[in-house]
Amino acid sequence: VALYKSVPTRLLSRAWGRLNQVELPTWLRKPVYSLYIWTFGVNMKEAAVEDLHHYRNLSEFFRRKLKPQARPVCCLHSVISPSDGKILNFGQVKNCEVEQVKGVTYSLESFLGPRISTEEMHFSQAPPGNSFQQQLVTKEGNELYHCVIYLAPGDYHCFHSPTDWRVSHRRHFPGSLMSVNPGVARWIKELFCHNERVVLTGDWKHGFFSLTAVGATNVGSIRIYFDQDLHTNSPCYSKGSYNDFSFISNNNKEGIPMRKGEHLGEFNLGSTIVLIFEAPKDFKFHLKAGQKIRFGEALGSL
């Protein structure tokens, strides 16, 4: 594990990113993309543009858009999957620990960082609690829930809003860029806390809500569409630090309103989305660990 952690994954990912942006000659595009499609099981029937010659480089191919009808958004449930992927874990957060894969946990506070000032949130001051977890729960009778979705290289790489909510704050942790493949996640404790990630926090109708995009090897680029100031895997940031940005200002008291299913951001390959949110005790997930899920399908509801 120590040897793997010493690998310069950030530098390698930047090099891979530049390689992905090299324009391929037209005659080479079909064989290169066809090999990728065959290796990772990509379904090009869903792509908005099926013609492989259309994609000038690997980066454009990775970030391909889907046909509008390919992913209908579930209207019956309050929380939907923000992306395609595999469900690694879900359930109530217990003892300030969250499972990244079965039996391997990480600290909630290490993952999200210090609690954001309630002045940036739309809900009232939480009652004083003994733990970081209790401080996030703002309404009596609510619980804190989590859901981890792993995006494989062959998946659709954009992610969307999982519910109607308001984003008030962004926290960017530069971190490492180790693989988040479930096999690797089993033997590196707190992997998600070591890796680069972008934490979006805000509120929905039941209180606290957060969506975190976790980077991985060759996924140095995490893009949030409404956040032009965000630059991931940049050499100017040092690991172990984090930088904050508030979407609440004198001119914008509401933050960034997001509608369920609305485009939110994208990865440049595949990675992981972690949802951590507050909801009443009768919130139920409609999931099984290990199942494949697609953007727009139900995660859970009251």
Q: Does 77 participate in catalysis according to the annotation?
A: no
Q: What is the reported pLDDT for 127? A: 52
- Helix (H), strand (E) at residue 149: strand 142-150
Q: Decide if 274 contacts 212 (C-beta within 8 A).
A: yes
Q: What is the reported pLDDT for 100? A: 65
Residue 203 in tokens: 């509120």
* CB burial of residue 18 (10 Å; 0-12, 13-18, 19+): exposed
Q: What value does the mean pLDDT of the chain take? A: 84
Q: What is the reported pLDDT for 192? A: 79
Statement: residue 122 has pLDDT above 90: no
Statement: residue 208 has pLDDT above 90: yes
Statement: residue 118 has pLDDT above 60: no
- Helix (H), strand (E) at residue 166: strand 165-173
Q: What is the reported pLDDT for 186? A: 72
Out of 2-11, 116-125, 177-186, 215-224, least confident range: 116-125
Strand-pairing partners, residue 276, are: 146, 210
For 124-155, the pLDDT digits (tens) are: 454 555 578 888 888 888 999 999 999 988 88
Residue 31 in tokens: 């064989």
pLDDT, average across residues 112-133: 63
For 220-275, the pLDDT digits (tens) are: 578 899 998 888 877 666 666 788 999 987 777 788 999 999 999 998 766 889 99
pLDDT class of 24 with cuts at 50, 70, 90: very high
Statement: residue 206 has pLDDT above 90: yes
Q: What is the reported pLDDT for 75? A: 87
Quote the percentage of the chain above a pLDDT of 90. 43
Q: Does 160 participate in catalysis according to the annotation?
A: yes
Q: What is the reported pLDDT for 14? A: 67
pLDDT, average across residues 199-217: 91
pLDDT class of 63 with cuts at 50, 70, 90: confident
Q: What is the reported pLDDT for 125? A: 52
Q: Decide if 195 contacts 13 (C-beta within 8 A).
A: no
Q: Does 84 participate in catalysis according to the annotation?
A: yes
Give CA–CA dist 76/78, Å, rounded: 7
Other Cβ atoms less than 10 A from the Cβ of 233: the count is 21
3-state secondary structure of 160: strand
Q: Which of 68, 267, 57, 55 is nearest to 152 (CA)?
A: 267
Catalytic annotation, pick one of 13, 59, 81, 84: 84
Out of 91-100, 203-212, 289-298, least confident range: 91-100
pTM of the model: 0.88
Nearest-10 Cα torsion for 255, 260, 266, 270: 130
